[in-house]
Structures are given as C-alpha cells and as structure tokens.
Amino acid sequence: MTTIDAMSPPQPSSTSDAGSDLLIEVRDLRVHFHLYEGVARALNGVDFEIRQGRSLGVIGESGCGKSVTAQTIMRIVPVPPAKIVGGEILLHLSGENGRAPEAIHILDLDASGEKMRSIRWKEIAMVFQEPMTSFSPLFTIGNQIIEAILLHMPHLSQREARERTIEMLNRVGIPQPRRLVDAYPHQLSGGMRQRAMIAMALSCNPKLLIADEPTTALDVTIEAQILELLKSLQEEFGMALMYISHDLAVVGEMSDEIMVMYLGMVMERATTEELFAQPLHPYTQALWRSIPRIEGDLERLLPIAGTLPSPYAEQRGCPFFSRCEHRIRGLCDTQRPPMFRVSPTHQVSCFLYQT
C-alpha cells in the first residue's frame, strides 16, 4: 500500500497566504436542490483551487455535480430550486491597471447585482455544452458578442466592438467572419456555433474559462479541432481553464490537474501525470478500466457494478461504498473518509490510504 501522510480537511486560505498565482479557491461548497421528491444534495463539500494559467480537468458520471460546480462559480445556478447552503468561493484578482490586489467572496455577491455581472465574461467566462440553446435565436451572433463587449468595455464604440467581434471570430477559425458576424445561430453548423461561443467567451479576455463538455454534440473530427483551439487560445491568452467532461482521455489531454467527482463529492485530485500513472481511488480505477484502448489485446470493457445512489439520500459514509470492490464494512459505510495526502500534489478520499 502506498505510504502517505494523513491530511486534515482543507481550511479556507487567507488572502495573505493564498499565493500570488492563486485564482479561484473553492472550500466546502454545498449546494442543495429542494424538489418535490426531496432534497437533492448536488454538491456536498467540494474543495479545490485553480491557479493562473493552469488547467483543471473535472470528470465523473452524470449527476456527480460537475456542471453545478461550474454554474455556482458563475452564480447562474437556478435559485430556486437550488440553494447554496455552505462553503466559500474566492476569486483572487492581482493588481493591474493601478488596481490593488483583492480577494472577492463570490457567494457574498448578489447573483444579479452589478458586481457579479461585472465578473461574468470579464473575469470568468463559460463555454456551455450546447451552444444552440446558449445563444438567443432572435439575434445575430455578432449582436450577442458585441453586447458582451460593450458591457465590459464601455470605452469602445459600437464600430470598435464590431471590429473586435470580427477579429475574435477570425481567431477561432470561423471562415468569412465579416459575413458570418451577421448570421443567426440556426444558420451555423454545430462546430461553427461552438466556435462562436468560444469567441464570445474570450471576447473580454477572461482570467478563467470554464468549458462544460463543449464537444459533446460534435463529431470526433470537429471535437479534435475544438480541443486544439482551446489549448492554443489558452496559451495565447494566458488564461486558466476548467475543463469538464465524462471522457478521461480528453481531460488528460487538456489538463494539468484532474479532479474526480462522485455524487457531489471529490474522490481524488492529482496532477494528470500522477493520476494516469497511479489512479488510487477505487472509483477512479473503475473509470480507468472502462476506457476502450486501441493498443494491445482486445479486452471486454468492465462497467462499474451497481447503480448511482439516490441524490436524495444522505450519505453517512463514502458515497461509493455500495459499488466499491474494496469496501470495509463498519467503516466505509459509517464514516466519510477525509482527504489523505499521498504526495504533495496527490490527494484521495479513501480509508485504504490512511496511515
């Protein structure tokens, strides 16, 4: 068994010790959905951070809380039925253009207030899973991007904002941008709409880009183009990236670090190299076994046994207990495992790795 040091649950960091390159801190984030069937605990104590210019991949089965995490950072999670019941999200902004460095408590802001609206797209932008439903069908692509630019760059004229929009459409590889800037969303293909969504997200030079499964509705050829585009634009703009996906292979290609989620909790966090070389949590190992491989002998894929527990049931112990091959009865089903530190950059929430 791997030798590790026990690690107490992370505590919120102060501004002074956050580190000069820290951009986003999420601590003990809890989001519940109050529905007719009961209370669904979408997020149940999520902790992570994202550093400037770095990329974090988030993986897990459907319903594990990936998209809710992103929407809560953007403060666009639907309230009601959602309710943020605990936790903290800190946005660290370094001093620039004469401004003093500051740490903004995102959850303390009014979701529809002026301060939060100034953060969306300017500091944190998002590429949604389905751009056809993200763009309004009543306005052209150009008008919607120009609106976002003028909101955050009021010093620009309408003409300058239009030129910036055309430039961004050209940067993301849309052909004939001067013509297609006046196209409506339904006049573009799925790949072109997704590129336009990326252009809109990058139009105000955000510090963090959240990509929530941006290639789900695209064929593999277009998917490869979009992924390559995101990587090149991240390097060009120097922004941080939070990439959400079901596909462990894609996340491994896009991310410096990977966070594995299950039923609203973080099961494992590590650098991409460490997670691929030695996945530790039984859930991560099960995900790894379910990936098809093209090299070596053909083997039958092994699905994860059992079903996802009900999100309405409160979990006393590890949420993966009922499906885990290495569960310890009397322990894993009664106590929630803390995060244990395997290495300075590898943490896992599993009693198998306690000292």
Strands 22-35 and 240-244, bridge-based pairing: unpaired
Q: How far apart are the first and last CA of the chain?
A: 10
Tokens of 25: 């801190």
Confirm if 246 and 30 have CB atoms less than 8 A apart. no
Q: What region, left, alpha or beta, does residue 63 occupy, with left being phi > 0 and alpha being psi -120 to 50 degrees?
A: left
**Which of 4, 2, 9 has the alpha carbon at shortest distance from 341?**
4
Say which residue the tokens 């529905």 belong to: 35
Say which residue the tokens 């949590």 belong to: 281
pLDDT along the chain (355 residues), means of 10: 40 40 93 91 93 93 89 91 93 73 90 90 86 83 92 90 92 89 90 86 89 78 81 87 88 92 94 92 87 66 76 85 88 90 93 83
Sheet harboring 22-35: ordered strands across?
38-51, 22-35, 82-93, 102-105
pTM summary value: 0.86
| DSSP single-letter state for residue 310 | P
pLDDT of residue 3: 38
Distance (Å, whole) CA 284 – CA 56: 16
pLDDT of residue 99: 67
